[in-house]
Amino acid sequence: MYKVIGTTKSRAFRVLWMLQEMSVPYAQIDASARSEEAMKYNPLGKIPALVDGDDVLTDSVAIMTYLADKHGQLTAPAGTVARARQDAMTFWLIDELDAILWAAAKHSFVLPEDRRVPEVKDALKYEFERSAAILSDRLDGPYLMGDEMTLPDILACHCLNWAIGAKFPRTDDKLFHYAKALRERPAFQAVSAT
């Protein structure tokens, strides 16, 4: 059984949601970033971490990719054009949504107070709005990669939810309803309830 190290209100949510979607058993160790417990699994104290036997994996997207490939779910097969397109979408989401939200978090509560530049958040909100509009234009079906849910949908929905919590501008109705439908999935609801 996998062990997922990280709080539900972190990027660990992505990993937990994926495991729920795949109906794969896991145990969660509810550890905060930089906590003593998190440091046991990642010397940097970052979460999430995934324990698979004797192996410890870090970085939410790397963990999700590993799980999708290992279980053959929520992904296009490696070495296919569909997978290359899926990976391109994943990397775009990391650059254009996740990184923007993380930069805003750093300047809100992560960095030491004397290193924060709150004024940067206006520029980050502008960037996020621009990226959300591009994502909306790219959404051509019920899911980002077509008719089936894949890893990028989990990543995108998590980022869109994070943006709401960070008080970023509301997305257009198309993205709003896309994320709402994903939040209504039983696996999402199960993780949210923990």
pLDDT of residue 125: 97
pLDDT of residue 181: 98
What is the three-class DSSP state of 157? helix
Q: What is the mean pLDDT of residues 175-185?
A: 97
Q: In what order do the strands lie in the sheet with 55-58?
A: 26-29, 2-5, 49-52, 55-58
pLDDT of residue 121: 95
d(CA 177, CA 57): 33
Q: What is the pLDDT of residues 95-137, one digit of tens each?
A: 999 999 999 999 999 899 999 999 999 999 999 999 999 999 9
**Which residue segments constitute the domains of the chain, with CATH numbers given?**
2-74 (3.40.30.10), 81-190 (1.20.1050.10)
Q: What is the mean pLDDT of residues 165-185?
A: 96
Q: What is the pLDDT of residues 134-171, one digit of tens each?
A: 999 999 999 999 999 999 999 999 999 999 999 999 99
Query: Phi and psi dihedrals of 78, rounded to 5?
Result: -55, 145
At residue 194 the predicted structure's pLDDT band, cuts being 50, 70 and 90, is: confident
* H-assigned helices in the chain: 12-21, 36-41, 60-71, 81-93, 99-105, 120-138, 151-165, 173-183, 186-192
